[in-house]
Amino acid sequence: MGYSHVYAEAKADPDGFWMKAAEAIDWVTPPTKALFDDNAPLYEWFSDGTLNACWNAVDRHVEAGHGERIAIIHDSPITHSKHELTYAELRDRVASLAGALRAKGVEKGDRVIIYMPMVPEALEAMLACSRLGAIHSVVFGGFAANELAVRIDDCQPKCIIAASCGLEPGRVVHYKPLLDGAIEMATHKPDFCVIFQREQEVARLEEGRDYDWHGFQFGVEPAECVPVEGNHPHYILYTSGTTGQPKGVIRHTGGHMVALNWSMRNLYDMNPGEVFWAASDVGWVVGHSYICYAPLTFGCTTIVFEGKPVGTPDAGTFWRVIQDHGVKCLFTAPTALRAVKREDSQGALIGDYDISCLESLFLAGERADPDTIVWAQDKLGVPVVDHWWQTETGWCIAGNPLGIEKLPVKIGSPSVPMPGYDVQILDEGGHPVPDGDLGAIAVKLPLPPGTLPTLWNAEARFRKSYLDHFPGYYETGDAGYKDEDGYLYIMARTDDVINVAGHRLSTGGMEEVLASHPDVAECAVIGVADQLKGQMPMGFLCLNAGTQKSAEDVVSECVKLVREKIGPVAAFKLATVVQRLPKTRSGKILRGTMVNIADGKDYKMPATIDDPAILDEITEALKELGYPK
Ligand code: COA
Ligand code: AMP
């Protein structure tokens, strides 16, 4: 059965299609139907079934006789270590951790924040929460204490599980002081914390609040899996919106399991027992879906990689990992390949390893530029699949479903919609535009299983951000077009979100931080094109009259402030002081025009511009920063 047939089947009979997919996972009580639309335009899937995500990801494989299969391989070129965990070992470790959390009062529905680097214990913590029906919220290690505090106040965790430190090349990231600082800042206080002490840095524990990961498990009774409803929130994952307040994307348990499990065979062409490697971080959606839940639920071996594509120790690391662990499918961000290509443009290091096990490379997280795709195809000799998705959807919206049919590749396009996604290109009025015309990309409701049902504690914001603009559709926030064969092209964001090294960041959030500097009267942050990271944030600062400090001092203080408030992951290093910002007559900052000037693109003088001369000042300031490149 080819792609068109499968896609049409899901469209004609979504209930039948997804109920069939649901048979591939274990239910305590099977659902009576797939879609629950009584509360439209809010939709849910499999609400009346009961199941447990940890059972599906771990226990069921042991029960089926695969306890000796490797579940997780940890490979850390930073600590020069590798080790493996079987499914049986993983089950025992997770059951023990869950038992210890339960003994301290963690129950179904409680929130648990996880702040950990790329160690297997991060997955164990996620799975232990799933086992109890507790709702985890993983926070990426590159975020600063303030971002962690915002998340603590929003989801109000009973417990925080953290590691003592993370390891970046050449630097230890001191997680514990960041955690302590965040708890101090937050209004909500967790009942307790669990600290996984790494040998690279042992953190001081606070008596009565902090427990040692190993010590607090001593003598506890392992926990069994707690059945939860299909619409029970499995996790909350915060992602950047247009403001500094991140959005808490919720994932419901039933649809999550069904969609991820379906995607492993049909999209990634995997079989149970094979090795799948998503070179991302558990702090991002790719890590949730494709380092943890999808490969494990499907019975694959997953790799937890603590390293970088370059510099740990060189641009051959990816190929070494593929060879050493027999990786069949690699999933990474284009920026990682650009980093490799920059250091080893001929791909000479690929020849040092036997990567004949590799059958496909999937790219996501940002637009895959044609140069990178062609380079990878040429050097690796396997299909390179660009696929498009978002934190909100949890799995692919458009891709090339290798497990169903390898469709012709059109470079620059992530190919076609996955079953369940009715993707339309709309004009401002919400009407579909002709093929080839640019518009806002929207998905006709309902979205398929596995996608977000709403935002944590913020249904009004969910409706406003995603549903209100185009009634009957989910607004993706991306703009692009569709060609005559139904292939999609994702060109840009329609909001103030930028994509830096595959990481989604809010320029609005950075502006809020800059505006808090006492000498800054007004500011704007834009994303400028960057050869390696795709985009880089750039700040324009207007200073208060009478400021005593030099422009250089304010710029360097602002750079420091963003690192302190948002974190190193914001990669905010470029800023300049200007007299005025270009605006429309109604006072809206012309960020799009500034981006065009910085990227050296032609632009039309906006008809509504208040004072065109300001653009000359911006052009001058950019020139001083070396832009356009
Ligand atoms: N904990 C703490 N700090 C972190 C971190 C983490 N988990 N991850 C990144 N950082 C820090 C980095 O150390 C760096 O700090 P610095 O300013 O002191 O150098 C900063 O955040 C920016 O990191 P990054 O954007 O990763 O840049 P880099 O220069 O370290 O590396 C690449 C560049 C391209 C190699 C790297 O960005 C990369 O591997 N990208 C792949 C992205 C990816 O997989 N995205 C997932 C989406 S699928
Ligand atoms: P995130 O939620 O962090 O996964 O970021 C999602 C956003 O990244 C999308 O809305 C797109 O803007 C961008 N993105 C992800 N994958 C792709 C892709 N394959 N092509 C183009 N843009 C992408």
401-412 per-position pLDDT tens digit:
999 999 999 999
Distance (Å) from CA 286 to ligand 2 centroid = 11
pLDDT at residue 607 greater than cutoff 90: no
pLDDT band at 207 (very low <50, low <70, confident <90, very high): very high
pLDDT band at 496 (very low <50, low <70, confident <90, very high): confident
Would the CB of 534 count as within 6 Å of ligand 2?
no
Would the CB of 297 count as within 6 Å of ligand 2?
no
In a domain, 62, yes or no: no
Provide the mean pLDDT of the chain.
Answer: 97
In a domain, 306, yes or no: no
pLDDT band at 543 (very low <50, low <70, confident <90, very high): very high
In a domain, 617, yes or no: yes
In a domain, 444, yes or no: no
In a domain, 587, yes or no: yes
For 91-105, how does the pLDDT look when each residue is reduced to its tens digit (9 = 90+)?
999 999 999 999 999
- What is the spatial distance between Cα 609 and Cα 585, in angstroms, rounded to a whole number? 6
Distance (Å) from CA 353 to ligand 1 centroid = 25
- What is the spatial distance between Cα 318 and Cα 305, in angstroms, rounded to a whole number? 10
Distance (Å) from CA 362 to ligand 2 centroid = 13
Would the CB of 309 count as within 6 Å of ligand 1?
yes
Place of tokens 């506890």: 220
Residues 23-37, mean pLDDT to the nearest whole number: 98
Which-ligand-closest: CA of 391? 2
Would the CB of 141 count as within 6 Å of ligand 1?
yes
Distance (Å) from CA 339 to ligand 1 centroid = 11
* Range scoring the smallest mean pLDDT among 283-297, 435-449, 597-611: 597-611
Range among 238-242, 473-477, 506-510, 589-593 rated most confident: 473-477
Would the CB of 278 count as within 6 Å of ligand 1?
no
Q: At what angle do helices 3-12 and 14-22 cross, to 10 degrees?
A: 110
Question: Which residue of 369, 569, 573 sits with most ligand 1 atoms within 8 Å of its CB, as the best mutation to test the pocket?
Answer: 569
Question: Which residue of 168, 318, 559 sits with most ligand 1 atoms within 8 Å of its CB, as the best mutation to test the pocket?
Answer: 168
pLDDT at residue 241 greater than cutoff 90: no
- What is the spatial distance between Cα 487 and Cα 416, in angstroms, rounded to a whole number? 5
- Per the structure, the complete domain to which residue 508 belongs is given by 501-624
Whether the bond between 628 and the residue before it is cis, its omega within 30 degrees of 0, is yes
| Residue 533 burial (10 A CB sphere; 0-12, 13-18, 19+) | buried
User: 129 near 99, Cβ under 8 Å?
Assistant: no
CATH value at residue 535: 3.30.300.30
pLDDT of residue 480: 96
Nearest atom (ligand 2) to Cα of 497 = 12
Would the CB of 569 count as within 6 Å of ligand 1?
yes
pLDDT at residue 242 greater than cutoff 80: no
In a domain, 509, yes or no: yes
Q: Whose CA is nearest to atom 3 of ligand 2?
A: 504
474 HSE (CA, 13 A, CB side)? 24
- Show Cβ contacts of residue 593 under 8 Å, excluding neighbours closer than 6 positions: 582, 603, 606, 609, 615
Angle among Cα 190, 195, 197 to the nearest 5 degrees reads: 165
Would the CB of 500 count as within 6 Å of ligand 2?
no
Distance (Å) from CA 568 to ligand 1 centroid = 8
Would the CB of 475 count as within 6 Å of ligand 2?
no
For 355-376, how does the pLDDT look when each residue is reduced to its tens digit (9 = 90+)?
999 999 999 999 999 999 999 9
Q: Residue 443 belongs to what H/E stretch? A: strand 439-444
pLDDT of residue 626: 95
pLDDT of residue 175: 97
Q: pTM here?
A: 0.95
Distance (Å) from CA 561 to ligand 1 centroid = 18
pLDDT at residue 314 greater than cutoff 80: yes
pLDDT of residue 151: 97
In a domain, 200, yes or no: no
Would the CB of 247 count as within 6 Å of ligand 2?
no
Share of the chain above pLDDT 70, in %: 100
User: 582 near 591, Cβ under 8 Å?
Assistant: no
Would the CB of 307 count as within 6 Å of ligand 1?
no
pLDDT of residue 213: 98
Residue among 106, 289, 322, 125 at smallest CA distance from 213: 125
Q: Whose CA is nearest to atom 13 of ligand 1?
A: 168
For 77-133, how does the pLDDT look when each residue is reduced to its tens digit (9 = 90+)?
999 999 999 999 999 999 999 999 999 999 999 999 999 999 999 999 999 999 999
Would the CB of 369 count as within 6 Å of ligand 2?
no
| Residue 65 burial (10 A CB sphere; 0-12, 13-18, 19+) | exposed
Share of the chain above pLDDT 90, in %: 96
pLDDT at residue 316 greater than cutoff 80: yes
Q: Whose CA is nearest to atom 11 of ligand 2?
A: 366
Place of tokens 């926070």: 139
- What is the greatest pairwise CA distance in the chain? 74
In a domain, 606, yes or no: yes
Q: Whose CA is nearest to atom 4 of ligand 1?
A: 142
Distance (Å) from CA 390 to ligand 2 centroid = 5
Total domains in the chain come to 1
pLDDT of residue 606: 87
